[in-house]
A = this chain, B = another copy of it.
């Protein structure tokens, strides 16, 4: 199927780009398909390309020497990732990007974006806005991990996911599709603890959960837990 360059305007960083810019980017893009469980790139690879996810879902993760993983970010359609090489010379990806579903993405050379930015300050600005958002989110998550107990972190994690990618289900409630392991990697705990906490919440009627699925029944109750206002 042919790809419409104007769709690129849905990418935050290109929202203020001209039509010509979008066509130019599109002409320099390679389409890649990545199967569920496969990788766009690995932590440590030279950061030649940045990507724009056009369908599917992916995650950015970091793993330590023992192989334990943390989930830095979950990516949905029209999000850009791997673009720090547009700023730094000879950058390497600081994280691994893995497809959570069969996905497609556009790959564009970071060098190309770098050159475009020289003469298009609006792209630099929108990229800086994106980066500012990351910095703030990472600072918040860092503080949470350092100071909050696990139940509150899981609540905060679900609330963040809700605002970033929650899908309203027909019967009210918000649908999220993640494994316990995913949620554990996002909130800095283990899948066992996530399972226990969700079971407890289910008894209280806050959520329903199943295989790779959490349905949030009472977001307000989660907010209360996240703020430590309950019991």
Residue contact A142 to B143, C-beta cutoff 8 Å: no
Measured CA separation A43–B44 after assembly (Å): 35
Rounded to whole Å, the gap between the CB of A127 and the closest CB of chain B is 7
Q: Which residue of B lies closest to A71 (CB)?
A: B146
Q: Which residue of B lies closest to A94 (CB)?
A: B136
Please give the count of copies of this chain that the complex contains. Answer: 2
Q: Which residue of B lies closest to A118 (CB)?
A: B121
Confirm or deny: A30 has a beta carbon within 8 angstroms of a beta carbon on chain B: no
Prevailing SS type, chain A contact patch: helix
Rounded to whole Å, the gap between the CB of A39 and the closest CB of chain B is 18
A66-99: which residues lie under 8 A (CB-CB) from chain B?
66, 68, 70, 72, 84, 87-88, 91, 94-95
From known contacts A62-B143, A64-B147, A146-B188, infer whether A84 and B124 are also in contact, taking CB-CB under 8 Å. no
- Residues on B with C-beta less than 8 A from A94 are 136, 139-140
Residue contact B121 to A117, C-beta cutoff 8 Å: yes
From known contacts A68-B147, A148-B64, infer whether A142 and B138 are also in contact, taking CB-CB under 8 Å. yes
- Residues on B with C-beta less than 8 A from A163 are none
Confirm or deny: A7 has a beta carbon within 8 angstroms of a beta carbon on chain B: no
Residue contact A87 to B125, C-beta cutoff 8 Å: yes
Rounded to whole Å, the gap between the CB of A85 and the closest CB of chain B is 9
Confirm or deny: A197 has a beta carbon within 8 angstroms of a beta carbon on chain B: no
Q: Which residue of B lies closest to A89 (CB)?
A: B129
- Residues on B with C-beta less than 8 A from A139 are 62, 72, 94-95, 138
Confirm or deny: A145 has a beta carbon within 8 angstroms of a beta carbon on chain B: yes
A146-198: which residues lie under 8 A (CB-CB) from chain B?
146-148, 188
Rounded to whole Å, the gap between the CB of A228 and the closest CB of chain B is 7
